[in-house]
Structure 1
Amino acid sequence: MQWIRPNRCDNSGPNCLEVALAPDGGRLLRNSQRPEVTIKVDAQEWATFVDSVKAGQNL
């Protein structure tokens, strides 16, 4: 599984959100400092989150 992090997070960065594609099309999320803990969201939840961020909504 390939985990992706934002470009502004390099290896020396403190906390970074990492995202991986799940086999069912959802996403797995984890904190770079605690990679053993993951949160899974389905494809629709991920799309809603991304759309909200693009629209500038505060969560």
Structure 2
Amino acid sequence: MKPHRGAAPAAELSWVRSSYSGANGDCVEVAALPDGSRLLRDSKRPHSPAIAFGAGLFDAFIHSITTGGSAVR
């Protein structure tokens, strides 16, 4: 994981908010990049750097947080 500072500005991407987000504004958003990697950001700070995940690492991260397991395979 590393901060995203790629060629495409994060503001121009299509961001999807977590379906678990409540009305209190404490949300995470995910954007897909053309190479299959994903960006993750705090919706309250859309201009801050996003965390970049390679496609396989993002899948492992999601698996880890949904099962309580390790993200490292």
TM-score range (shorter-chain normalised) is: 0.7 to 0.9
1:49 to 57, 61, 64: 61
Where do residues 1-59 of structure 1 align in structure 2 (5 Å cutoff)? Answer: 1-9=13-21, 12-37=23-48, 38-57=50-69
TM-score when scaled to structure 1? 0.75
Matched AA of 1:31: D
- Structure 1 unaligned blocks of 5 or more: none
- Structure 2 unaligned blocks of 5 or more: 1-12
CA–CA separation in structure 1 for the residues paired with 2:27 and 2:43 = 5
Report Cα offsets for 1:3-43 as digits up to 9, x if no partner: 11122425x43221100101210101110111112111111
CA–CA separation in structure 2 for the residues paired with 1:9 and 1:50 = 16
Report the structure, 1 or 2, having the larger strand content: 1
Identity level (%): 36
How many residues align? The count is: 58
Question: RMSD value over aligned CA atoms?
Answer: 2.1
Q: Which has the higher contact order (CA 8 A, sep 6+)?
A: 2
CA–CA separation in structure 2 for the residues paired with 1:54 and 1:41 = 17
